[in-house]
Structure 1
């Protein structure tokens, strides 16, 4: 699991370019540019949680409790879901956490067995 608070760190994620390119497009589209997205994320407190197959429900539960139940918010109150990557291999999910607009994005393989993803449909 990796947590990204700064969009400039997207290159550190262990994902293919076929996922990284559309990911960056989806994360920056509402803001008009990468620069505006970076500023807005810093200002209102957005972040991305990347999980892969080695992240099980136990680790995700601990993370969820330590981070104000943001994964539960994604599971129960997501506002945006899209498939990205080659063969739509990953889900990108957004949940707004506060009235200020801060939110959490989740990027995960579409076939991840976590309970946080099983109820999400497109």
Structure 2
């Protein structure tokens, strides 16, 4: 699992350029600019988690309450190319939250048990 604490770090994600562009657009669009998005993330405590194919979802969710919340209570979710999914979970009224990028099969496997 990889954690980013600023939208300015999005290029560090080990994802295809097409996916990065879609993710960047979804994350930046509500704020109008990367500067405004970065300020908001810093001010309210927003982050992004990337789960990868070899991550143990159950173990990670047990050790990370933010991930467990993101998996359980997404506000919205969109499908991305190459079998990934992007979702957003909001923690509180101030707008603190977590974006989650995850291979869809990890979520579907978890939901089917």
Q: Report the counterpart of residue 23 of structure 1 in structure 2.
A: 23
Q: Report the counterpart of residue 82 of structure 1 in structure 2.
A: 78
Contact between 2:79 and 2:86, CA under 8 Å: does it hold in 1?
Answer: yes
2:65 paired with 1:94: no
CA RMSD of aligned residues (A): 1.7
Q: Report the counterpart of residue 111 of structure 1 in structure 2.
A: 105
SS of the residue 2:88 aligns to = strand
Deviation of 1:98 after TM superposition, in Å, equals 1.3
Contact between 2:57 and 2:106, CA under 8 Å: does it hold in 1?
Answer: no
2:87 paired with 1:72: no
Deviation of 1:30 after TM superposition, in Å, equals 1.0
Consecutive unaligned residues in structure 1, runs of 5 or more: none
Q: TM-score, normalised by structure 1?
A: 0.81
Deviation of 1:58 after TM superposition, in Å, equals 4.4
